[in-house]
């Protein structure tokens, strides 16, 4: 299992990479309880999914927020996860089309 952050990990088998959500509980044998949320054919695709999913998860609440606040939350979360990935894999590159909301320059 590859631990990405406090919420997501990636398990690998001969056929795919499964992105799993960690529920911070253990089974009877002391193993972490996780649930798959996506299957991918490569590690970069799995990491890209974690990046997008983490940004979306940050908005999941019952609070009402403005569009500006939502964009700030998405960009902050995206940057946090992207930095974690870049620390582990400095040569990792992300498609600009997969980035969250960015201001045009």
pTM: 0.71
Tell which wins on pLDDT, 18 or 59: 18
Tokens 């991918």 belong to: 40
Residue 93 has pLDDT above 70, yes or no: no
Residue 6 has pLDDT above 60, yes or no: yes
Phi, psi angle pair for 2, to nearest 5°:
-105, 115
Model confidence at 59, in pLDDT bands (50, 70, 90)?
Answer: confident
DSSP state of 81: H
Measured on CA atoms in the order 18, 37, 98, 1, is the torsion positive or negative? negative
Phi, psi angle pair for 77, to nearest 5°:
-65, -40
Q: Which two tokens stand for residue 30?
A: 């002391």
Average pLDDT of the chain?
82
Q: What is the mean pLDDT of residues 10-17?
A: 93
């Amino acid at each position: 299992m590859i631990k990405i952050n406090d919420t997501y990990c990636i398990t690998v088998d001969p056929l795919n990479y499964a992105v799993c959500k960690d529920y911070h509980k253990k089974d009877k044998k002391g193993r972490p309880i996780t649930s798959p949320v996506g299957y991918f054919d490569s590690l970069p695709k799995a990491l890209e999914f974690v990046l997008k999913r983490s940004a979306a998860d940050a908005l999941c609440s019952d609070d009402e927020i403005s569009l500006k606040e939502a964009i700030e939350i998405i960009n902050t979360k995206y940057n946090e996860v992207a930095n974690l990935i870049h620390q582990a894999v400095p040569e990792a590159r992300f498609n600009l089309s997969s980035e969250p909301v960015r201001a045009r320059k």
